Amino acid sequence: MNRLWAFGDSISAGIPGDVNNNPEWYPHPYLIALDKHHLITNLAADGAQAADQYMAFGTTTPATGDRICVMLGTNDERTYGVNQLKLNNFATILAAECYFITQQTSKAQSWSASGTWNSTSGQTIGLYSTTVGNSLTTTFNGPTLTFGYLIDDAVGGSFSVTVDGVNVGTYNTQSLAPIMTTLGKNSGPALGRIIGFSPGPHTVVFQQTAAGTVYLDWVGIGPNGAKLLLSTIPRMTSAAYIAFGGSDANVASYNQAIRSLVTQMQEDGLSALLVDSSSSVNPLLDLGADGLHPNQQGRVNIATTFLNMMN
């Protein structure tokens, strides 16, 4: 039996059933799993921003045919406000999570190391270095190199990427704007993506180039057969924007970043579909008293929008 994996915030986590155990009150991941007769693992968390979900993504191993439902960004949008650098942080964090969850990956622990690289615990899923000149070497197949690393508010550093002996870029691990989430996370994953290589195997070397700390996690080695359904975020009511932050215009900016990510993933041959939950939720009709969380009809509308993309 296939499994549905769900990631998100309280809109996805919800409460599985009201006092009468009425399935219509389940949050949308449970409604989807019931309809598709899937097993479900719901890793969404109340209050989560994209960075807060990284370890949930990092410990997940979807199988061929599994569905992955992701709705993240509501808490990022309302917390970060109109700030392009923070929106860029959100975009690369979400991209790293979605590329990781839809690919087979080679983990940093299995790469050839020069110098001392230490295992990480609770912050990321790979290895870290604090010494300039330390390097990790692995292989990937062209035409696109994708890899995951960590950006951090507190500890900067940089590393170069060399493919088949040619330097193809340098990456900074210091976040350009604070990531700090309301749940206390001050770091998050970032996606490295370099295109234009010939098909076939290539050797890639990551080498620390500046003082600080460099965290490297994974390299993509091909689709894993799971299907990603990545959702836009719903709008809120005017009163909720006043109470919680955000705006319709800022929601539109975050949703454009989500749409662009799905398009990019499809171009890279990954199984990703856009679920436009934003268009299926009417803030005046489909939200609860707080103007942020969906009511019963809103949950059904979101689930139906996901299911329409699955059929």
CATH topology match: 3-102+224-310 vs 104-222: no
Residue 13 near residue 27 (C-beta atoms within 8 A):
yes
DSSP bridge partners of 302: none
| Confidence (pLDDT) at 19 | 39
**The whole model's pTM is what?**
0.95
- φ/ψ of residue 242, rounded to 5: -65, -40
CB 216 within 8 A of CB 159: yes
**Phi, psi dihedral angles at 112 (to 5 degrees):** -80, 130
Per-position pLDDT tens, the chain of length 311: 899 999 999 999 986 544 345 665 689 999 999 999 999 999 999 999 999 999 999 889 999 999 999 999 999 999 999 999 999 999 999 999 999 999 999 999 999 999 999 998 666 789 999 999 999 999 999 999 999 999 999 888 999 999 999 999 999 999 989 999 999 999 999 999 999 999 999 999 999 999 999 999 999 999 999 999 999 999 999 999 999 999 999 999 999 999 999 999 999 999 999 999 999 999 999 999 999 999 999 999 999 999 999 98
User: Cα 232 to the chain's mean position, in Å?
Assistant: 13
Of the candidates 16, 15, 3, 101, which has an alpha carbon nearest to the alpha carbon of residue 50? Answer: 101
Structure tokens at 104: 């087979």
Instruction: State whether residue 125 is helix, strand or coil.
Output: coil
DSSP 8-state class, residue 174: B
Class in CATH terms, 104-222:
mainly beta
The per-residue pLDDT for 18 is 47
CATH number of 3-102+224-310: 3.40.50.1110
Looking at the chain, the number of H-run helices and the number of E-run strands are 9, 16
Largest CA distance in the chain: 64
Question: Which residues 6+ apart lie within 8 Å of 261 measured at CB?
Answer: 91, 94, 95, 98, 230, 272
Q: Produce one character per residue of 219-247: b if its CB has 16 or more CB atoms within 10 Å, e if not.
A: bbeebbebbbbbbbbbbbbeebbeebebb
User: CA–CA distance from 136 to each of 116, 155, 214, 227 (Å)?
Assistant: 10, 20, 11, 30
Domain segments of the chain as ranges: 3-102+224-310, 104-222
Here the tokens at position 98 are: 């979605």
